[in-house]
Amino acid sequence: MADVELIKSHLTAHPDFPKKGIVFLDIFPILRNPVAFETLITHLVHHLTSHTAATAPSKKIDVIVGLDARGFLLGPIIALRLGAAFVPVRKKGKLPGECVSAEYEKEYGTDSFEMQADAIKPGQSVVVVDDLIATGGSAKAAGELIAKQGGKTLEYLFIIELMFLKGGSKLDAPVYSIVQSDD
């Protein structure tokens, strides 16, 4: 898995960011290196085409949902490669038109995500994409938005998974992550 090692080698750890006691893993060095970025996208697309798509009734992924904001960096590229639609999930009040919303728990209080009400058609097969899963709250909210519109979440896709927070246990579909971190 030389591709995983290349991706890992471009993650930068920032201790005590955004607050003391947290080690922030920065994905932006991957995006600054065209070979590493292509390796990341190719790895994710290969996983989706060789594994995830087979779980869909149509054997095809219809929609990639990207979470605000880093999911917007990966989602459109993956969607284009798959011939799928891209649908953004944004913080409340950022999307025009009629929207559906779902609340999720944050470290201090709650927040709300929205998706345009006509973005996903009933029966469509969907994959959710973001850079990192920690507690799973935002990904769970995205899954609720997909379900409200009649879509079926096949998988949640992340670059990094913080295993000790067990965020994947809150979700309604399997999690795939490239890098698993225990701290």
- Active-site residue list: 70, 107
Residue 133's DSSP bridge partners are 161
The secondary element (H helix, E strand) that includes residue 180 is strand 175-181
179 contacts: CB under 8 Å, gap ≥ 6: 4, 7, 8, 11, 25, 159, 160, 161
Structure tokens that stand for 172 in this block: 């309604």
Q: How many CB atoms lie within 10 A of CB 102?
A: 21
Q: What are phi and psi of 67, to 5 degrees?
A: -90, 140
Rg from Cα positions in the chain: 16
Structure tokens that stand for 161 in this block: 């998974």
